[in-house]
Amino acid sequence: MTMERESINGVPEVTAVSTLNVIDLSGSDTHRSVSSLKQACLDCGFFYVINHGISDELMKEVFDQSRKAFALPLSEKMKLLKNEKHRGYTPLFDERLDPVNQLNVAGDYKEGYYIGIEVPEDDPRAQEPYYGPNVWPDEDVLPGWRQCMEKYHQLALDVAKAVSRLIALALDLEIEYFNKQEILGEPIAILRLLHYEGRVSDPSKGIYGAGAHSDFGFITLLATDDVSGLQICKDKDAVPQKWEYVEPVKGAFVVNLGDMLERWSNCIFRSTLHRVIIGGQERYSIAYFVLPNHNCLVECLPTCRSEENPPK
């Protein structure tokens, strides 16, 4: 499908809207879900999931709490600044996801907040990178905030595990392959609240909500508000690159595969370049990055290799 969209800074753009497969997680027709997911993973590694079991009420609460946190004065937010375990607040320009195309700007026009699995300081697991205590706002500053985020963190992991069952089946592995203790038993799961301020993106000047990148992990679940902005580029080598919008679908997650799964599957499944273009409206999204245990050995999956197709 192609349609004319509003121009960005006077430059008319004809941008396609991607029609991604919609995967039903309810379990009512697993065969159909697996074949639809498989097709999406071979094609671009992006799809929607619906009937994932997280209620609209909880989603609304998480977004409300996220808005409240970003609405705090900068001085309050800076007290919650990201620590050495990558948990906490990341201000504007903290990240520059596409340095080659963002040479003349300070970075991505977004602010964020990382929340990992809560691991107390005195827990031996806190020695691992990315594991440790989270940074939490005071209860009297943001009442109920921590509880809301911890609840969502847990339920999102269940959704990721449900998706990983379908991925396993799509790769002809046994259904719990990725959910085994050695793989997703103690995952690195990172919730990231994101806020894109209204600053209009201008690719010709390197101004983006988020520069082009692919996610590096296993899978990412993305929840967004109803403001569009996410774009994908299925063929990164095409000249010029062709970008397609992935529109928000109410109640659905956008799921995308990370580079690790691309590699794990011997490049049979795809991780795809994506970016965020802001058209003048503020936008909030919530990413949930899932990676396996720290000591998980990632090597070519047994079903992704053959004599003709040896491990890359």
Distance CA 8, CA 204 (A): 10
224 binds, among ligand OGA, Ni ion, none (CB under 5 to 8 A by kind): ligand OGA
Question: Does 230 help bind ligand OGA (rule: CB under 6 A)?
Answer: yes
Query: Using CB under 6 A as the criterion, what x/- string covers residues 143-182 for binding ligand OGA?
Result: ----------------------------------------
The side-by-side arrangement of strands in the sheet containing 11-17 is 2-8, 11-17, 244-245, 230-233, 273-276, 210-213
Region of 295 (left: φ > 0; alpha: ψ -120 to 50; beta: rest) is alpha
Which residues make Cβ contacts (< 8 Å) with residue 193, sequence separation at least 6?
Answer: 66, 69, 70, 112, 113, 115, 284, 286
> Exactly one of 44, 117, 210, 296 binds ligand OGA (CB under 6 A); which one?
210
Name which of residues 174 to 233 contact Ni ion (CB under 5 A): 215
Nearer to Ni ion, 111 or 215 (CB): 215
Residue nearest ligand OGA by beta-carbon distance? 285
Question: Does 261 help bind ligand OGA (rule: CB under 6 A)?
Answer: no
Distance CA 297, CA 123 (A): 23
Give the count of alpha carbons within 13 A of 148, CB side only: 20
Q: How far is the CB of 215 from Ni ion (least distance, A)?
A: 4
Closest-CA residue to 184 (of 295, 272, 53):
295
| Contacting range for ligand OGA; rule: CB under 6 A; set: 34-42, 64-72, 131-139, 222-230 | 222-230
Binding site for Ni ion (CB under 5 A): 215
Binding site for ligand OGA (CB under 6 A): 192, 194, 210, 215, 222, 224, 230, 274, 276, 285, 287
